[in-house]
Structure 1
Amino acid sequence: MTNTKPGRRARAEQPSEALALAMERAFIVSSSHLASPGNEDLSEFEFALTVVNHAFQRWVVRGMAAANLPDLSPLDALILHSVNHRHRQKSISDLMFTLNLSERHYLNYAMKKLDRLGLITRRRDGKEVFVGATEKGRTVCEDYARIRKVCLLELIPPDRRPGGVKIGEVAKALRVLTGFYEQASRSASSL
């Protein structure tokens, strides 16, 4: 118990009107020089996206480690899950397109690693290479799915609205924003 006068603590916890107003307008950004007036929300979104991306990648690595594959990078794991998707072989171009990869050498490096671990198979059909998950690869993906259910899905509220927004709506908004960033990327290349 602290030595404060009655009522003093309650006043200290109540923000002043000016502070409450400032907090209402405050944006959480990592780079104030990018928070142009009127577009602060985009800078706040980019910072949140950066933080969630790192948290997601950490989760993927730890989830795969719990499934007995501690040496996979986030990209390695995502490629394995994509290859295992619907238990159908995928072409290199399909994987590049699906995962929105622009550099093929990242995919090649990951596939060599996954192949060395016995998680994927590769076959050539003409000029195209097709990749499929091995039984070991499918088992690891299933183990990860079970771990994901226990460690992650249990945290998601039943109404699917963490933070008051449906997860599906966030996903749709992210797909739209992806198009904006892709266009901006093309524009920056031509400068």
Structure 2
Amino acid sequence: MAPKPSKPAQSLGPVVSASHLADGGLPALSEMEFALVILSNAFQRWITRCTAAAGGAGLSSVEVQILHAVNHRERDKSQAELCMMFNIEDTHVVAYALKKLEGLGLVEPGRRGKEKTARITRAGAELCLTYRDLREKLLIESVATLGLDEARISELAGLMRVMSGQYDQASRSAASY
């Protein structure tokens, strides 16, 4: 007796967390949103754990990002610049992060005219370098084995920045809806 032919696999559709959102137009956008949520959570967990392993236990993901940004190009950063860089609307989030980093001796206050700035300290720069070394060993070496095309990764990053503008515009529209 011949085996029964198997049914063709049904298309499951996009992988989403809210099928009711994928029922409308552009279901691929719902798939991207779910992927971004998963990626964002994994990334935040990674940077806090890598920082802890580097000697910076107790920092939140925002605080880690602010630390690296203040260290970027060894140029003082203002709270407004940091908010703009990370698209953070609530300035208190950045102010709290800077205060905590300052209390830990990782950044120090500075001034640019009347504007208060933050600059990296030696301890902050050393933590960033230790993080970089761990990132190379624990993440970059592993990701490199995947054989991903760096140009494609950059292209995806560009698309993500473009989409952030679309979400910002939609957010402004929703605020006045």
TM-score (norm 2): 0.91
| Identity %, equivalent residues | 41
What corresponds to 2:162 in structure 1?
176
Write the deviation string for residues 121-165 of structure 1: whole angstroms up to 9, x where unpaired: 112344311110000000000000000000111122364339xx8
Spell out structure 1 runs of 4+ moving beyond 6 A: none
Between the aligned partners of 1:108 and 1:150, the Cα distance in structure 2 is 32
Structure 1 position 146 matched with structure 2 position 137: no
- List gaps (5 residues or longer) in structure 1: 1-7
> Which runs of structure 2 are paired with 1:1-191 in the superposition (5 Å)?
16-17=7-8, 19=9, 21-23=10-12, 26-157=13-144, 159-161=147-149, 166-191=152-177
Q: CA deviation at 1:168?
A: 0.6
Q: CA deviation at 1:38?
A: 3.5
RMSD: 2.0
Q: Secondary structure at the match of 1:160?
A: coil
Q: CA deviation at 1:50?
A: 0.2
Q: 1:57 to 1:38 in 2, by over 3 A?
A: same
What is the aligned length?
174
Write the deviation string for residues 39-58 of structure 1: whole angstroms up to 9, x where unpaired: 21111110000000000000
Q: Secondary structure at the match of 1:30?
A: coil
TM-score (norm 1): 0.85
